[in-house]
Copies of this chain bind each other. A is one copy, B any other.
Amino acid sequence: MNDYSKWNLPEDRYFDPDPAQRRIAMELYKSAAHLPIIGPHGHVDPRLLADENISFGTPADLLIIPDHYVFRMLYSHGIPLENLGISRRDGGPTEKDHRKVWQIFADHFYLFRGTPTGVWLADELSNVFGIEEKLTRQNAQSIYDQIEAKLKLSEFRPRALFKRFNIEVMCTTDAVTDPLIHHQAIREFGWGDKIRPTFRPDAVINLLTPGWTNNIKALSKASGITVVSYKKFIRALEDRRAFFKSMGTIATDHASETAYTAELTPSAAEAIFKRALQGKAKAEDAKRFNAHMIMEFARMSIDDGLVMQFHVGSIRDHNDLIYHRFGANMGADIPSQSEFTQNLRPLLNKYGADSRLTFILFNLDESTYSRELAPLAGHYPAVKLGPPWWFYDSINGMRRYFDRVMETAGIHNTVGFNDDTRAFPSIPARHDLWRRVSANWIAGLVARGIVDIEDAKEMILDLAYRLAKKAYKIP
């Protein structure tokens, strides 16, 4: 008999119900469940790992306040972010009592039924924190007590969890101007191979980013190259890449609203950059400069071997009110239509046939999976597809990705999984979900006679571990 006051975490969860497929899925899953975690892309704050004694704070600090997946759902039902303890830019009042924040969360936990956040949280609370009861309005404070008590223990410090989670490699995402002091501390601790920075230059590439001029100053300072021209700008970026590489970086990361690429002449690039330095860059300048720089980064990747990640399709900060009051990454980023076939043609014609380049595409427009992305990855040597991203980091999102990508691209033109998370304790839940859904998908192929079990056993190891390690050239 099930006890419905407990979390619902059956051993064979996320598998299709057919018993034959489920048996195969379980066999495959078991072969991959305990492999180390490879996390080549994510947003965990390296500060958490820089000091052995750092703690996560309160349960709300851990699970609600940093997780836009959680608070945007609560906001969508009319709960002000202030009530959830989110800091305002203007220092205005927000809820300080994290028990109240937690109570609101518990009161509305039914909103997460059937969502990935719902299943991650069940897994986290149960398997990381040992909370057996389902969260309800009634038991909210008692569960808060339990988590709070655990978070005080040394075995719930981030480094302890990192070991317990069996993470082999975790990459963070770091501004190009970042001095990487936390990563320096991590290296000194001897974990430099485990926790690696990623080179993210968006804030100096997008000429219209608020504070761009300050970012350029920071770049000058960080590189020691005074960025007074496009030429110097390129030199400063190359300098920073070299520094990041010396700090263990294996990849770069680039975000863009569209996938537009087009090369500028050196003089055109110089002219646009000058206008930007004078504060006179227009939207069209920013667009062309971004399109050009994506190509420049492909060139640099061929030179220095850093894997290039390209995230396309999010319209950031769609809700002005939220942006002005709370800033970026507040759950108000909304995807939009993407186009890759025409937009990437200039880049791919120049660099796509070069196997030294690994160009990993992430996107939020699933209609491009079968139409554009799988055919591109199934042709160009440089192109690989990243795992289903953001809203699609979910059971159905993964199923659609397998369904639409794999027949054309084959699994070897994909790069396995990455968790892309800010929420450190959700890492095992996310990788476990990927491994289960992968195992189920492959089991479906076996059950339908599309692959045999011998091939299936290779495929689950590829998807769970090997493809990520290989694509990201992890030593």
- State the number of copies, please: 3
Q: Which of A113, A116, A372, A411 has the largest number of chain B CB atoms within 10 A?
A: A113
Assuming A320-B349, A375-B335, is B114 touching A381 (CB within 8 A)?
no
Whether the pair B78, A2 counts as a contact (CB closer than 8 A) is no
A1-48, CB < 8 A from B: 2, 4, 8-10, 12-18, 20-21
A299 beta carbon closer than 8 Å to chain B: no
Complex interface: stretch among A68-76, A169-177, A191-199, A415-423: A68-76
Whether the pair B18, A17 counts as a contact (CB closer than 8 A) is yes
Assuming A410-B111, A459-B114, is B378 touching A371 (CB within 8 A)?
no
A391 beta carbon closer than 8 Å to chain B: yes
A189 beta carbon closer than 8 Å to chain B: no
Bound state CA distance, A12 and B355, in angstroms? Answer: 40
A235 to chain B, nearest CB (A): 30
Contacts of A334 in B (CB 8 A): 341, 372, 375-376, 379
A293-333, CB < 8 A from B: 315, 318-322, 331-333
Whether the pair B454, A378 counts as a contact (CB closer than 8 A) is no
Whether the pair B371, A364 counts as a contact (CB closer than 8 A) is yes
In this complex, what residue of B is CB-closest to A448? B14
A145 beta carbon closer than 8 Å to chain B: no
Q: Would you give the 0/1 interface string for A114-151, flagging 1 where the beta carbon is closer than 8 Å to chain B?
A: 11101100000000000000000000000000000000
Q: Would you give the 0/1 interface string for A87-128, flagging 1 where the beta carbon is closer than 8 Å to chain B?
A: 000000000000000000000001111111011000000000
Bound state CA distance, A20 and B413, in angstroms? Answer: 36
A18 to chain B, nearest CB (A): 4
Bound state CA distance, A371 and B336, in angstroms? Answer: 6
Whether the pair A396, B391 counts as a contact (CB closer than 8 A) is no
A254 beta carbon closer than 8 Å to chain B: no
Whether the pair A392, B375 counts as a contact (CB closer than 8 A) is no
A62 beta carbon closer than 8 Å to chain B: no
A355 to chain B, nearest CB (A): 4
Bound state CA distance, A16 and B18, in angstroms? Answer: 9
A213 beta carbon closer than 8 Å to chain B: no
A397 beta carbon closer than 8 Å to chain B: yes
Whether the pair A336, B339 counts as a contact (CB closer than 8 A) is yes
In this complex, what residue of B is CB-closest to A6? B452
Task: Give which listed residue, B8, B15, B397, contacts A451 with CB less than 8 A.
Answer: B8
Contacts of A55 in B (CB 8 A): none
Bound state CA distance, A453 and B10, in angstroms? Answer: 13
A342 beta carbon closer than 8 Å to chain B: yes
Whether the pair A374, B391 counts as a contact (CB closer than 8 A) is yes
B-contacting residues of A (Cβ < 8 Å)?
2, 4, 8-10, 12-18, 20-21, 72-73, 75-78, 110-116, 118-119, 315, 318-322, 331-337, 339, 341-342, 345, 348-349, 352-353, 355, 364-367, 370-372, 374-381, 383, 391-392, 394-397, 400, 403-404, 406-413, 444-445, 447-455, 458-459
- 3 nearest CB pairs, A to B: A13-B449, A8-B452, A4-B454
Q: A17-B20, A334-B376 are in contact. List 8 more A-B contacts (CB 8 A).
A: A4-B453, A14-B449, A78-B355, A119-B450, A322-B353, A333-B375, A394-B408, A396-B404
